[in-house]
Amino acid sequence: MDLFTGLAIYVLFWWIALFIALPFGARSQADEGLHIPGTERGAPVKSPMIAKFRVATIMSAIAFALFLAGFHLGWFDILQSPFFAQPGRPEQAPL
């Protein structure tokens, strides 16, 4: 795996981790009892985004490390998938 492929996979993991972390710690106006006229009651009063970025970075670093270890140790290989044909094995041809 080259640098740009690894970076693209890490960014993918980071965005997924961010979307997982977004709902945690957010307090809505309805939760706080502070409704500002003209706004949605579910709008957040405060959402600690810096903390969520840190959590997303830690989660994605762990997930990427596991992915990289699995890739280099041969735990999975995309070419062994039944969706890719291998020479001499016609039963593994794509559908």
Boundaries of every domain in the chain = 3-76
The mean-pLDDT minimum among 51-60, 65-74, 84-93 falls in 84-93
Residue 35 makes CB contacts below 8 A (sequence gap 6+) with: 29, 41
- pLDDT of amino acid 60: 97
Q: In the predicted model, what is the mean pLDDT of residues 55-81?
A: 86
pLDDT digits (tens, 9 = 90+) for 21-66: 998 888 888 878 888 888 888 888 877 889 999 999 999 999 999 9
pLDDT at 86 over 80: no
Q: Which of 43, 24, 21, 19 is nearest to 32 (CA)?
A: 43
For the chain, give the mean pLDDT: 83
